[in-house]
Amino acid sequence: MDGTTERIETVVIGGGQAGLAAAYHLAERGHPFVILDADTRIGGTWRDRWDSLVLFTPARYCGLPGWRFPLPDGSFPTKDDVADYLEEYASRFERPFARIPAWIGYPAMATAAASSFGPGTSGSRPRT
């Protein structure tokens, strides 16, 4: 580590649909941020669902800001369609993403997770 500190105004917890949509709007406004997620891949949680999972929402309503869902409007995306879309969305808009321990979502442990965030994450350490 070289001893430099990078300041990030906003930490987005979770790289799902809501987290990626929030990141889109932060980037549009020029605010620095990082997306923290417990999974190793964006959309990874979707990949762990039942193979038969199909959304009951038509694809035309599944897109995130700045990029429509890449299936015909009347089709119904599978879990893998959603996972692939989220991963491509994050890549397309070059969203900063870091893996964190799965238990970050529990408020009592959030401080511990932030304090221990470091090894394997390029030396980054969020401050609470």
- Indicate the burial class of 108 (C-beta count within 10 angstroms; 0-12, 13-18, 19 or more): exposed
Among 32, 33, 40, 35, which Cα is nearest to 14's?
35
Q: How much is the pLDDT for 125? A: 52
Residue of 70 and 106 predicted with greater confidence: 70
Considering the entire predicted model, what is its pTM? 0.72
Task: Indicate if the pLDDT at residue 49 is higher than 70.
Answer: yes
- Topology adopted by domain 10-116: FAD/NAD(P)-binding domain (3.50.50)
The percentage of residues in the chain with a pLDDT greater than 70, rounded to a whole number, is 72
pLDDT, one tens digit per residue, over 69-101 is 999 999 999 999 999 999 999 888 877 766 665
Residue partners of 106: CB distance under 8 A and separation at least 6 = none
